[in-house]
Amino acid sequence: MNCQSAGAQRGPIKLFISALSLAASMGVLADDGRAAQKGEADSSAEARVLQALLLEVRELRQAVEHLAAVNGRQQVILQQMQLQGQRLNHASLDLDDVRKQIEDVSTRQGDMARALENTEARLAQEVDPKRLSELQGQQSEFKIMTEQLATKESRLRIQEAEAENLVKSEQNKWQDLSDQLSALTQSLGEGCSSVTPMAPKQR
């Protein structure tokens, strides 16, 4: 009878212990579940951060590649502008030379006109046949030289017009390169700057 009572008393205790064990096991499983969920959340956050970093690296690489390409193009244009500036200076010097020749011809024409006028005035007053013949010869020479100077002036005026057109053409080419350089500089952003060669002096 006592043994049965003791067994009966141990039965509920075993059930209680089993229940505690089950509860503990369930608690451990719940903790493991929460830990797993937390781990998944952390992994997802790390993935997003990594993706953002990769995107920034890709954008940075593209920016660097763009900068390198623009800088290379700038150097090419600068060299072209230097060469074009030399052509423009040469064309401007040619134009200056033609204009100096025109100025010289104009001065000689004025001198010749005065000399011819003076000779004709002397012819009107001269009575000596020999001296009159000499003055007539001078008059003929002055007229021929005047015609030659007029012809030369006409040729120089044509050369001047051609030289002016060439200077304008070379200047436009130089300006086109300058505009290209400015556009490239703007593409780099306000923080970037570039040195533009000074435009050759126009005539």
164 closest CA partner among 101, 85, 99: 99
Q: How many whole angstroms separate alpha carbon 155 and alpha carbon 135?
A: 30
Q: Which CATH number fits domain 33-187: 3.40.50, 1.10.3420, 1.10.287, 1.10.1760?
A: 1.10.287
| pLDDT grade for 110, boundaries at 50, 70 and 90 | very high
Give the percent of the chain with pLDDT over 90: 51
The pLDDT value recorded for residue 42 is 65
C-beta separation of 142 from 119 below 8 A: yes
Look at 16-25, 94-103, 122-131, 190-199 and tell me which has the smallest mean pLDDT. 190-199
Contacts of 115 (CB under 8 A, 6+ apart): 142
Q: Mean pLDDT throughout 70-99? A: 94
86 closest CA partner among 165, 168, 174: 174
Instruction: Give the other-Cβ count within 10 Å of 181's Cβ.
Output: 21
Contacts of 171 (CB under 8 A, 6+ apart): 88, 199, 200, 202
> For every residue of 101-167, which 3-state class applies, written as one string?
HHHHHHHHHHHHHHHHHHHHHHHHHCCCHHHHHHHHHHHHHHHHHHHHHHHHHHHHHHHHHHHHHHH
More reliable by pLDDT, 60 or 145? 145
Give helix then strand counts, H and E, for the chain: 2, 0
More reliable by pLDDT, 43 or 125? 125
Tens of pLDDT, residue by residue over 121-163, are: 999 998 899 999 999 999 999 999 999 999 999 999 999 999 9
Q: Is 42 helix (H, G, I), strand (E, B) or coil?
A: helix
- Estimate the crossing angle of helix 129-187 against helix 2-125, to 10 degrees: 170
| pLDDT grade for 65, boundaries at 50, 70 and 90 | confident
| pLDDT grade for 1, boundaries at 50, 70 and 90 | very low
More reliable by pLDDT, 138 or 192? 138
Q: Mean pLDDT throughout 91-114? A: 96
What's the chain's average pLDDT?
80
Q: pTM of the full predicted structure?
A: 0.61
Give the percent of the chain with pLDDT over 70: 72
The pLDDT value recorded for residue 44 is 79
